Structures are given as structure tokens and as C-alpha cells.
Amino acid sequence: MNNKEIPYKIYLEESEMPKQWYNVRADMKNKPAPLLNPGTHQPMTLSELEQVFCTELAKQELDDTTPYFDIPQEIQEFYKMYRPSPLVRAYCLEKKLGTPAKIYYKFEGNNTSGSHKLNSAIAQAYYAKKQGLKGVTTETGAGQWGTALSMACSYFDLDCKVYMVKCSYEQKPFRREVMRTYGASVTPSPSETTEVGKKILAQHPGTTGSLGCAISEAVEVATQTEGYRYVLGSVLSQVLLHQTVIGLETKTALDKYGITPDIIIGCAGGGSNLGGLVSPFVGEMLRGEKNYQVIAVEPASCPSLTRGKYAYDFCDTGMVCPLAKMYTLGSGFIPSANHAGGLRYHGMSSVLSQLYDDGLMEARSVEQTSVFAAAQQFARIEGILPAPESSHAIRVAIDEALKCKETGEEKTIVFGLTGTGYFDMYAYQAFNDGKMSDYIPTDEDLKPGFDSLPKID
């Protein structure tokens, strides 16, 4: 198929869509370290995990040997409503940059949640429904995950309680309304509805909240309400598993046209998109079949991979969640409020952390004004207004394409365009008005986070 003309957008047929998710842990020689009980520091057992998570999801979380999981039929049907997502050849961008590189992006923004988050939300809602639960709780920062989960819960007629980081709740009333339109209840966090929320409010009156704090609230409600469980939109291995639908579709589309990427790029917050995109490719690397340059891109203001420590840490501020070994800035790290995009989580998926530690992936940190410059450039040339998160990947994709221009190399670059920026116009406005600034934490700024790391023997 090498001679086939490559269209602007490669859409798979429905019959070509993945029927299984791929669990990259099965191919990893160095497995990610297990989750630990925050009290005993012993590996979490299924019976402990299923107090917090749906049982099937807890099983997926713990399973690092099964390479493929069947995608239940109901989820496959839901996927067909908004998938397959297009793999787009960025012809216009290539031309504008004058690069010999070939640029592709897997665009996950063509659904109402506006991002890839829906891929895991529908899976988690499905298992909750199957277990006979009444509802689920979760946290949301920028609002993409909360929106995705609201949509998924509405589809399966499940109650959905979202704890939304207070500053986002106030700055993004439209996101909140989308969630409400899908029937979710949305509470600004920290709130008076939970013990942990009250405690945080007492300690930090006037706080505008954080993801770690919202997680703690959502977990508290889930574990103390009959018929509820907690669900999470990133970081966890189960989420990466569901998100492999991105990478599997990408790989099928590339294979169909005989294309082999040289560089694969994704933005990295908790790691769900990046992990989902790169897993099938990293699997080939792990099995010694192929080699790719895999690049994680994170904000310079929250550099968990490039400046974090590889250590066990709390996933949440309230320290009620299991401990995970990951590249982390420490749960006590306060992300800069000046950073407009998402990707502000202090830690990183333990799967990706291990792959990074093993040298299978590299990481770059980028500053936000350069990210928004790339976002604007991309929007004007390729017609899609990208989410600030996704624009981190765009920045590095453009940088790599410009390197090719210098060297004359015809590299094939694939990056993940996780979503759209329609609800991020405050940030764009700041950029349009020249009022956006950069922030790189000093070593001093990072110290409180590192000091908050638990001591694990």
C-alpha cells in the first residue's frame, strides 16, 4: 500500500476499530511498582482496591500480565458514535513550515467532551453500571474529564458527582453547564460537603483548590456513600489501558498506508493520552521489533518527568489514595496559577514513569508562551483550535519538523492532538492581549513538594 496517495484524514472503517485494549505492562520486563496501601505501605490487594474502584477496574489496575483485554460490545458501540478518530496528515502545516518532515496527528477532539477523556470515561461508566452501582464520583480540573464522565454516565443512566477545582469552577462556567446538561452535579472543591474539604478549608481559607484536593473529596464521598465508587481520568494503569484505543487506531491507520513513524509525541499531565497513544509502539520496542523516538512533553511550570523524583508518593492532597511510585514533584507541590493549560498534576502515570526510567521515552519541558504561539500558528494553518494541553505536543512537533528543515531529514512525526480549546478562551485571550507570562519554578520552589514525599523503605 506504499504507493497509495495519503488523504488529509485517514479514517478507519468501523470493522477496523480495535476490539481489544492493549496492556503494555504485559510486555514490560521492569513492571511498574505496585500501588501501596497508604497506611501499611503494603501492596494494595483487590479487596482493598475494590472499596474505592469498581471491581472490574480494580482487576485491570492490578493486572500487569494479560496483554489484551476485550472491549465489551456496549463500549464498542459507544465508541462508534465518535470514533474512529481521524489520523490527519498536516499537509498545510508541513507546507507552511517548509519542512521535508511528514507530520501526522491523531485528533481526539471531535466529540462533545472535547478530548480523548471519553475513551476511558465510557469504559469506567460501563463497569460501574455492570456492577449495579448507583453512581460514581470524580474530580475535574480543566473540566474535560468531568465532561467526558458526565456524558458517559448519562448514556448509562448513572448518577455522576463531580468535584471541580474551585478556580476552574469559577473561571469555566460553561464547562460546568455542559456537565449539568448531561445531568451531573458539580461541586466546587474544596467544599463543605466532605470532611477532607472542611479540613482543607480550615487550613487554607480562601484557597481556590487543586486537583489533589478534589480527588480527596471525591474519594471520600465514593467510599462513604452506598452504591458509589470513585473513578479517575488519568494516571492509573486502567486509564492508560482504555486509552490505548488511540494508539491502536493510529497504528492500524499508519500500517494501512505503510507508514512507519520516526518520532511519536504526546503531551503529558497524568499520562493518559501519551500512554494510550504510545503503548502499541512501545510494545514493539519492548518486544525488540522496532524502534521509535518517543517524546513526552510537559509544561516547564510543572516538570514532573524532567525535574521530578522517581519515588512513591501520594496521588492526592488528602493522602487517602493508594501510594504510587512515579516521577513526581510531591503532592505538596503547588502548581503555578499562572499556567493556563492543564497538565498541572504533580505526578505521572507509573507505567510511563517506569518506561521513562528505563530509557524507552524521553521528556521535554516547554514554556507556555511558546506553547500558545504554536497553538495559534496551528489553529491558523490547520484550522483546529487546539486545547492548551495538546498544544504542548504541537510545540515539540513543530520544533522537530523545523530541525528536519535544517538537516533535510524526511522524518515522519506523529503527535497526539488530544482536544480542542473552545473552553480555554480566557487563556487565549491572555495570549492575544500579550498578557501571558512564563513561569519556571526555582529549585527553592520545588523544595516543599519534595519535602512532602512520604518515607517508604
Q: By CB under 8 A, is residue 19 in contact with its own copies?
A: no
Residue with smaller CB distance to its own copies, 337 or 425: 425
Grid coordinates standing for 75?
463500549
SS3 state at 267: strand
CA distance 288 to 285: 5
Binding residue for its own copies, selected from 66, 112, 260, 407, defined by CB under 8 A? 112
Helices 368-382 and 388-407: angle between axes, nearest 10 degrees: 80
Binding string to its own copies for residues 369 to 408, with x set by CB under 8 A, is what? -------x--xxxxxxx-----------------------
Grid coordinates standing for 134?
448507583
Residue with smaller CB distance to its own copies, 111 or 244: 111
Binding residue for its own copies, selected from 52, 128, 151, 277, defined by CB under 8 A? 151
Spell out the alpha helix ranges (H) of 257-411: 272-286, 304-307, 350-357, 368-382, 388-407
Decide: 207 and 166 in contact? Cβ < 8 Å: yes
Binding residue for its own copies, selected from 42, 65, 407, 429, defined by CB under 8 A? 429
Q: By CB under 8 A, is residue 263 in contact with its own copies?
A: no
Q: By CB under 8 A, is residue 320 in contact with its own copies?
A: no
Query: Across the beta sheet with 362-366, what order do the strands follow?
Result: 9-10, 87-89, 102-107, 412-417, 263-267, 293-299, 362-366
Q: By CB under 8 A, is residue 432 in contact with its own copies?
A: yes
Binding residue for its own copies, selected from 46, 425, 440, 456, defined by CB under 8 A? 425
Binding residue for its own copies, selected from 121, 178, 329, 348, defined by CB under 8 A? 178
Binding residue for its own copies, selected from 16, 26, 72, 92, defined by CB under 8 A? 92
CA distance 419 to 386: 6
Min CB(18)–its own copies separation in Å: 15
Q: By CB under 8 A, is residue 131 in contact with its own copies?
A: no
CA distance 451 to 453: 6
First to last CA, the chain: 54
Of the candidate spans 36-44, 177-185, 278-286, 308-316, the one that interacts with its own copies by CB under 8 A turns out to be 177-185
Min CB(114)–its own copies separation in Å: 8
Residue with smaller CB distance to its own copies, 7 or 448: 7
Interface with its own copies in residues 48-67 (CB under 8 A):
none
Of the candidate spans 111-119, 319-327, 329-337, 339-347, the one that interacts with its own copies by CB under 8 A turns out to be 111-119
Min CB(429)–its own copies separation in Å: 5
CA distance 433 to 427: 10
Strands 323-328, 309-314: parallel, antiparallel or unpaired by DSSP? antiparallel
Residue 369 to residues 20, 65, 344, 384, 447: CA-CA distances in angstroms?
39, 42, 16, 18, 25
CA distance 314 to 325: 9
Binding footprint of its own copies on the chain (CB under 8 A)? 7-9, 11, 13-14, 78, 80-82, 92, 110-112, 114, 151, 154-155, 173-174, 177-178, 180-183, 376, 379-385, 420, 422-423, 425, 428-429, 432
